[in-house]
């Protein structure tokens, strides 16, 4: 799964607004994504 996420990051790395696409892929692969402490 990690390799699939890394491939998605590589695919979108040149796009400035790609974060949401990468987060969608991470959620698809790993399920619910918790908030990171101290990030919000």
| Angle ∠(30,34,37) on CA atoms, nearest 5 | 135
**What integer best gives the mean pLDDT of the chain?**
83
> Does residue 32 register a pLDDT over 90?
no
Question: What does the pLDDT average to over 18-35?
Answer: 86
Question: What phi, psi does 31 have (nearest 5°)?
Answer: 90, -150
Where residue 14 falls among pLDDT bands split at 50, 70, 90? Answer: confident
Q: Where are the alpha helices (DSSP H) in 1-40?
A: 2-12, 19-30
Question: What does the pLDDT average to over 16-28?
Answer: 89
For residues 26 and 1, what is the distance between their CA atoms, to the nearest angstrom? 9
């Amino acid at each position: 799964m990690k390799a699939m996420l890394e491939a998605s990051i590589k695919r979108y790395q040149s796009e400035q607004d790609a974060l949401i696409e990468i987060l969608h892929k991470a959620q698809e692969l790993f399920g619910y994504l918790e908030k990171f402490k101290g990030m919000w």
